[in-house]
Amino acid sequence: MRLWSRELWHLVGLAALGTGLGGLLGAWAPGLAAGLGVTLCIHLYRLRALYRWLTCTPRAEPPVAPGLWGDLFDRLYRYQKGQRITRNRLRATLERIQQSSEAMRESVVMLDRHGDIEWWNSAATDMLGLVTVHDRGQHVTNLLRDPRFVRYFFACDYAEPLTLVSPIDERSILEYQVTRYGDGERLLMARDVTRLHRLEQMRRDFVANVSHELRTPLTVLAGYLETYGDLADTLPPRLGRGIGQMQAQTSRMQNLVNDLLLLSRLEIDQGGEDHARLEPVALLERIAGEARALSGDRHRVTVEVECAASDRPALLASEAELQSAISNLAFNAVRYTPEGSQLVLRWRHDTSGGFIEVEDDGEGIAPEHIPRLTERFYRVDKSRSTASGGTGLGLAIVKHVLLRHDASLEIESSPGGGALFRCVFAPARLCR
């Protein structure tokens, strides 16, 4: 403010000087005009200096000037310097980020809010075949056209990664993961999981082959043991007991091999070919009959349907696979609940999908076991499970079958409060 009033005083001073000198010569008005003209010339001169400085040598020291102009030059110079430092810092940070993304073995692709490609690292060039001149600004689904990727990208549910064959080399397997950031922008990461995939494949093949090879010797053993079992009365009691135990163990191994083979088939097959309209209530009635037979009427088994017969949608599913999954749940409920327990097989549906539930009022399961129940060979009580003829693969089979039906398994249970196993099917699986 001080500088501003000083500038005003300068102007008034020059105008007064001009007027005074003009008055002495008898022409005060031209004197005033001359005084104002000199002021204007001084300001035009400073303005010209500012313009030349900003256009020709913006990085040089500012021109020297007194008063308001000098202060203006200094402030502009300091502002410019601050901007330059910030810009350099930003550039250095950006370079560091780019260098670290370049060093990554994973592909990183930056997408704008519309899904158009903005930037990618060199790993993405090798892995996804992106080419700067053609691909910048293209929508990502124009380059990764596999329908499964397109569905994954537009479904916007990126909780799980997606594994697909590489778009440029069919021997490579890539795992895609999309992350959201900023204002609707997305980051697409891809990593090569070919080695992991091959190991997994080898493991599956190994289990499938071993199980398959064990099947024939076990059938031969079981056949002979059955024949010897028929002759048990004629054998010494110790031998007869041994044959009984061998029969029980052989049958356990046969169950195990059958479950392993079923799991391998579920993992290896793509599935979906035998999916057809299935009447869930008829399926539940059938399984309830089998559960009653297994229980020998020691449990009360009922089927509940929460809608009228005229309003029952069918389920698009593989009958053989669902039969195997739901009977696993029902037989578990028979095996792991005490005599006299109640077992309910339930079908219901609403706008969020269809639900098959298997509920019992047995001893239930402690919460720490629930997240691990679908792991292979996981048992809550190993000795009880083995005694009941369990293989530890039942719930793993259920989970796989449901995965092949875009469905999921929910387990609700508490010690002493029974157990509820719920198969949740998406609305798209219901057909009228």
Binding piece for ligand ADP, criterion CB under 6 A, among 139-147, 204-212, 225-233, 391-399: 391-399
Using CB under 6 A, which of 186, 379, 400, 422 touches ligand ADP? 379
Q: Does 344 bind ligand ADP (CB under 6 A)?
A: no
Using CB under 6 A, which of 127, 173, 284, 395 touches ligand ADP? 395
Helix (H) or strand (E) holding 174: strand 173-181
| CA–CA dist 210, 203 (Å, integer) | 11
Nearer to ligand ADP, 352 or 414 (CB): 414
What single letter denotes the amino acid at residue 113? R
User: Per CB under 6 A, which of residues 236..265 are in contact with ligand ADP?
Assistant: none
Contacts of 262-267 with CB under 8 Å at 24 or more apart are: 262/324, 262/397, 263/207, 263/376, 263/393, 263/396, 263/397, 263/400, 264/204, 264/207, 264/208, 264/211, 265/208, 266/321, 266/397, 266/400, 266/401, 266/404, 267/204, 267/400
Collect all residues with Cβ–Cβ distance below 8 Å to 427 and sequence separation of at least 6: 351, 352, 353, 354
Main-chain dihedrals φ then ψ at residue 360, nearest 5 degrees? -135, 165
Using CB under 6 A, which of 11, 139, 392, 426 touches ligand ADP? 392
Using CB under 6 A, which of 391, 404, 407, 422 touches ligand ADP? 391
Nearer to ligand ADP, 186 or 299 (CB): 299
Q: What does the block give as tokens for 337?
A: 């609940």
Using CB under 6 A, which of 380, 403, 424, 426 touches ligand ADP? 380
Main-chain dihedrals φ then ψ at residue 144, nearest 5 degrees? -105, 90
User: Per CB under 6 A, which of residues 311..340 are in contact with ligand ADP?
Assistant: 328, 332-333, 336
Nearer to ligand ADP, 19 or 328 (CB): 328
Binding piece for ligand ADP, criterion CB under 6 A, among 29-37, 106-114, 143-151, 375-383: 375-383
Beta-bridge partner residues of 413: 419
Main-chain dihedrals φ then ψ at residue 334, nearest 5 degrees? -70, -45
User: Per CB under 6 A, which of residues 345..364 are in contact with ligand ADP?
Assistant: 360, 362
Report yes or no: 302 and 342 within 8 Å, Cβ to Cβ: yes
Hey, is 432 helix, strand or coil? Answer: coil
CB of 93 vs ligand ADP, minimal distance in Å: 52
- CB-hemisphere CA count at 13 Å for 52? 10
Nearer to ligand ADP, 22 or 364 (CB): 364
Nearer to ligand ADP, 193 or 207 (CB): 207
Q: Does 373 bind ligand ADP (CB under 6 A)?
A: yes
Nearer to ligand ADP, 144 or 395 (CB): 395
Binding piece for ligand ADP, criterion CB under 6 A, among 10-18, 192-200, 260-268, 376-384: 376-384
Nearer to ligand ADP, 76 or 370 (CB): 370
Q: How many residues make contact with ligand ADP (CB under 6 A)? A: 20
| CA–CA dist 254, 212 (Å, integer) | 11
For residue 399, CA distances in Å to 8, 211, 245, 406, 422 come to 86, 20, 32, 11, 11
User: Per CB under 6 A, which of residues 72..131 are in contact with ligand ADP?
Assistant: none
For 260-361, list the strands marked E by DSSP: 276-278, 300-305, 314-317, 342-350, 353-360
User: Per CB under 6 A, which of residues 150..179 are in contact with ligand ADP?
Assistant: none
CB of 393 vs ligand ADP, minimal distance in Å: 6
CB of 176 vs ligand ADP, minimal distance in Å: 31
| CA–CA dist 99, 370 (Å, integer) | 45
Using CB under 6 A, which of 394, 404, 407, 423 touches ligand ADP? 394
Q: Does 365 bind ligand ADP (CB under 6 A)?
A: yes
Which positions lie near ligand ADP, rule CB under 6 A? 328, 332-333, 336, 360, 362, 365, 373, 378-381, 385, 390-395, 419
